[in-house]
Structures are given as structure tokens and as C-alpha cells.
Structure 1
Amino acid sequence: MSIDSSSPFSWQFNLGRIPVVVDPSFWLATAMFATLGSRSWQAMLSWVAVVFVSILVHELGHALMAMSLGCDVAGIRLYMGGGLTYHDRALSRWREVAVAAAGPFTGFLFGGLMLAVNIFIPPKSEMGMILLRDLLWVNFGWGIINLMPVPPLDGGHIMQGVLGPKRQRLALWVGVLTSGAVVALALNFGSFFIVFMFGMFGYQCWQALQVTRDIKPLEPVKVAEIEPDALARGWQALRSGNESEASRLGHLALSAAKPGEESNAARDLLAWVALADGNARYALSHLEKVDPPQAARPYSLAVAYEAAGLPERALPHALAALEKEPTEAVAALAVRLLVKAQRLDEAERITREFAWKTPAKRDALMADVAVARGDFGGAALLHASAFEAAGRAEDAYQAARNHARAGQVGLASEWLKRALEAGYDDLETLAQEPALAEVRAAPEIAERLAQRKQGAA
């Protein structure tokens, strides 16, 4: 389950900078649970409100602890059966224990606060007594149940962290035996919901036992012997598009690396693997662990920050990278970020002064500067020049687009024909570009586009 996979009927809001998603299944399951007792409709509404607030407080405990340990929290999801908190990186064993324990203990604190309020302001109505009873049961009763050593409860996660990766099968056996004992006790008291819940947990633990093996970490020297030149081979795998192999070799290199330069180089590779997978936050988590922090590669930081949607944080690293490794990729990134920051004179100066291998790259970047200044006619001419130099269909399309934005429909039509002849195939983008609406409507262009769509089909 992902924080991004919400249904169209989910309720979404923010608590500070933490996104919260409440699935419809949360309300349904909570209301169904309320029907197990003989409650009035007012008591049922009170129960749903208590469960919502209490589980949200519980998940906030997880989230705030993760944030205090340096994580970014991607969000909280409430769904059938409880809640989940998503943070952006793996933590060390004991930090994961702290995050798991923070949820139920935050619930205990909230329940204690409700007890204190009851002492000073005791409820005077039947609904007030019901509300207090439900608050205490959910925060203390469910909290204690949640601390039982059964995965996937928080108590199970705590136990797995305490036992460590070498004893994961033992943790699952404890989950199976504890679930069996709870089921037997619940049957004796006729609590069939508890029977169902812990029966399901016990079965899941039993299934996990069939595939789980305790981890036996390799010694660093043995790793180096098994995978010689892991770092160099990892970069080679990444350049060839094999991200999974690059990740494997990067982690092996990191496990065998000495602190300092070797470890930092392995983290740089793993950051680029994460970028290739589209996970900018995981890339940043690797780069932020470089020691000392100033040893992180500026170009890697710039690319990761830009991919994470933080161009203002990427820019200083891109300019620093341009001083250290003045390649075309670095220069193009610096110019792109300067344009976003509206530092157009600096962007133009770097573009003019840099020794590009071909004039096409220079002209395309100068066109971006011209667009930022609102000079669409000048941008169109620069893209046309870039097309004449390198023959890229994208440059011809941009020439057509900017001629159209400058009101030069005839030139836009001619350049769109050239783009299509050169193999421009992003027909979806072309169909959605408002500046080219009049050009697309021209009979000759419309016919060409129809033929291209038929060919694609």
C-alpha cells in the first residue's frame, strides 16, 4: 500500500507538512466494529470519532519520531485495520525500534491526558462517560494489544528489531505461538473478533516462516574477495542500464569500504542508482550520509535536489560542480537552474563562454534564456539554428512552438512540418500545446497527424 495509491473517495489533508490520507475502508471498518456492541447512533458516531483521533495520534507518534531521526515523512494513511506512516529511508536497527515504539507510547500519553482532563473536568452526561470510556479503551487497551510481540503489530516490529536480522525466524515463531495463545484465550471469553485478528496474524507469521532465512552478514574482507572491483563494475552496470546489478554491487562496495573516501564513493554510486529508479529522496539520503558532508559530490547533490523538486537548493551545488568538473552535463544543469531562478544574465554568460562540443547545444540553451525573457521570436531562431546544426526533431518542434507563441503562424507551420519529417513522435504533447492549436487545424498538418496516429496504431 502506498501513500500515492488513494481511491477517488479518500479524504486528504495536511497536518503541518505531513500529508494524511483516510481511505473509505477506514470509516467502514470502524463503523462495523461499533456495531458489535449495542450502541445508539450517537454512540456509534462518538466511537468513529474516537478511533479516528486516536489512531491519527498514534501514527503521528511514529511520524514525529522518524522526523526527529532525520527522515522526511511522505505521509500517513488510515485504512481498514489501522494506519501506516511512510518515511523516506531505512533506519538503523535501534532507530527503527524507537519509531515502532513511539506510536503506542504516544497513545498512552494521549490516554493519560484524557484521564487528567477527567479528574479536573469529569463528564456529566452519559455520552460524556461513553466518550471517555472509548478514549481509554482505544488508547490503553488497543495500545497494549499493539505491543504484543506479533508481526505486523508494533510489538512485533520492536521484537524483530531487538532480536536483529540474525534471529528473524525466532521472531516469527514467537509471533505464531503468541497468536495461538491469544486465540485460545479469546475463544474462552467468546471474543470472536480477537480470534479472527490474531488467527490471521498467526497465519501470516507461519507463511513468512516458510520463506524467511536469518541473515548472516559477510565479513568485509570476504565481500571484497567475492566481488573484486565492485564499485567500478557497479558504475559500468548503471551506465548499461542494469540498475538492479548496480545496486547490488554498490551495496557490496559500501559494506567492504573503509570509512571516508571509499565509503563516500560507494554512496555516490548508490545515489545515482536511486536517481535512475526515480527515487530522489533515497538518493539524497545516501548523499547526506557522506562524511564529512562537504565531501559529497556537488553534481550529484544538484541532480538529486532538482529531481526532488528543490531547484533553489540544487543551484548552488550546480555552480560549485561547474567549478570542479566543467563538463557539458554540468554546464547545462547550471544554466537550466539559473533560468528557473530568473538569473538570466548569468545563464547567458555561462552559455556563451562555455566550450560546447557543438553549437547546437549552445543555441538550444540560449533559446531557453530567450524564452525566459519573453523573446519567443529569438528563441525560435535559436532552435532553428540548433536544428540545422544537429538535426534533432525536438529542436524543430521547439522552433515551431516558439514561432507560434510569437504569432508567426506561417513559420510555425513550416517548422512543424520539418519536425514531423525529422521523426518527432511525441504526438500527445503536440496535441496539448495551446500555442499550436491554429497550426494543428491547418488541413495539411491535420492530415499528417492523422496519418502518423494511424501508423502508430
Structure 2
Amino acid sequence: MNFRFLKIPVYIDPTYWIFLLFVVSTLNAFNRAGVLLAVIITFSLLTHEYGHALTARFFGAQPYIVLRAFGGFAYFNESVVAEKQRFFITLAGPMLQGLLVLIAYILIRLDVFNDYYIRFVLHAALYINTTWILLNLIPIVPFDGGGLVRYLLERKFGRKGYRASIIIGIVSAAIAIPYLLFNGYYLFFVIELLIAGFRYCKLWQEEWMN
């Protein structure tokens, strides 16, 4: 499934639908609520990636978005953007998604909707996007938090900042992995953190050897 919105191409891989079906099945939500959850997840994911893509387009890159199993990705021509611009591109994803959290929170607080399903959508959007943002800001690549922390530390402290970002990533993975595992978060988050943690350990080993 492919489409273009706001002049940005979006490609949805078949594996994304399988992934979405898996998520809904783990919640035993093969009903109207399950369909709404699938819509909320997809809309939230697209909002996040559009934050990256629209900012990349603003800086002159040519972005496109891909949704596949385990998430979405906003690709763009990195050679035409500076490091500082890449920082803002990374930051824009969680910020635009944070706008969804704010809108859902305000509408819930105003309590203007009596319909059960509208209230369900608002509460689900608030929970999903808040959790998503917090997980995505874990300071280890490939999460956005890892790129943001690395940029800030390198800009301030150079090589020492880069090494500090590696240590922060390793410590963050060591804390987050057991927390997510024992609190019942989806296993793919844990697996992604494990892979990232091993990658950071290898980076630290390379830095120590140099």
C-alpha cells in the first residue's frame, strides 16, 4: 500500500499489517475496540514519522516514510542536511507526537464527549503516545533519544561526549531491559534494546582499544 500526503511518499510494507495483527491479537481485541486500536497505532506512528519527514523536507531533503514490522522509519537524503539540522529532524518526531498527547489530554479533561468509543480513542491515544514517547526517548540508538543525547554531548564535549553517550546508552539498556521485561511490555522492545545494547558494547570496546 502506497500513498502520498503533504508531498511525502508513504510506503506500507505487508509485514506492517502482520505486525499490527499480532499486536491486536495479544490484546484479544478482535472487535470494534481492536480496529480502533489499530487505527490509533497507525495514526500515531504516521504522526511521529511525519514529524521527522516534514522537518527534513523543510531543510531541503527528500524524505519518504516506510511502515514495516516493529515500526516506521522516515528516510531522507542526509548528505544535504547539517548535524544541527539532523538534530531538529530527530527532535521533531517526538514533539509532533507530543501534540497528540496534549490534544487527547485536553479533550479528556474537558469531558465534552459522552460516546464510549470516542472516550476510548482519547484514552487509548493518550496512553499509547505517552508510552511511545517515553520509550523512544531512551538514550540509545536506534531510538530518537540516543541520537539526541549523542549530538548534544558530542557538540559540547567532542570525543569525550561521544564516549559518554556510549556509556549512557549501555547503562540505559541495562536498566530498561529488565524493567520492560518484568512489566509486561512487548518483547520486540526488549529485543531491540538488547541488540542496541550489544552494539553499544562493541562501540565502547572499539573506543577503549583506540
TM-score (norm. length: structure 2):
0.84
The match for 1:80 is 69
When Rg is computed on C-alpha atoms for both structures, the one with the higher figure is 1
CA distance in 2, matches of 1:171, 1:20: 32
The match for 2:171 is 177
Query: Is the alpha carbon distance of 1:188 and 1:83 closer, same or farther for their aligned partners in structure 2, counting shifts above 3 Å?
Result: closer
Query: Is the alpha carbon distance of 1:152 and 1:124 closer, same or farther for their aligned partners in structure 2, counting shifts above 3 Å?
Result: same
Q: Does 2:195 align with 1:200?
A: yes
CA distance in 2, matches of 1:207, 1:214: 11
Q: CA RMSD in A?
A: 2.5
The match for 1:228 is none
Alignment deviations for residues 138-191 of structure 1 (CA, whole Å, 9 cap, x no partner): 222101211110110000010111122624343222112101101222344344
CA shift, 1:61, in A, is 0.7
The match for 1:189 is 183
The match for 2:100 is 110
Q: Does 2:12 align with 1:22?
A: yes
The match for 1:137 is 127
Equivalent residues of 2:20, 2:38 under 8 A apart? yes
1:243-282 paired onto structure 2 within 5 Å: none
1:53 aligned residue (22, 43, 48): 43
Alignment deviations for residues 408-435 of structure 1 (CA, whole Å, 9 cap, x no partner): xxxxxxxxxxxxxxxxxxxxxxxxxxxx
CA shift, 1:60, in A, is 0.8
The match for 2:85 is 95
CA distance in 2, matches of 1:24, 1:38: 22
CA shift, 1:119, in A, is 4.5
CA distance in 2, matches of 1:42, 1:179: 36
CA shift, 1:204, in A, is 3.2
Structure 1 vs Structure 2: percent identity of aligned residues?
A: 23
Q: Could you say which structure has the greater relative contact order, defined with CA pairs below 8 angstroms and 6 or more residues apart?
A: 2
The match for 1:156 is 146
Equivalent residues of 1:169, 1:214 under 8 A apart? no
Structure 2 gaps of 5+ residues are: none
CA distance in 2, matches of 1:81, 1:95: 26
Query: Is the alpha carbon distance of 1:118 and 1:192 closer, same or farther for their aligned partners in structure 2, counting shifts above 3 Å?
Result: closer
SS of residue matched to 1:148: coil
CA distance in 2, matches of 1:206, 1:34: 34
CA distance in 2, matches of 1:30, 1:212: 39
TM-score (norm. length: structure 1):
0.41
Equivalent pairs, count: 204
Residue identity matched to 2:169: G
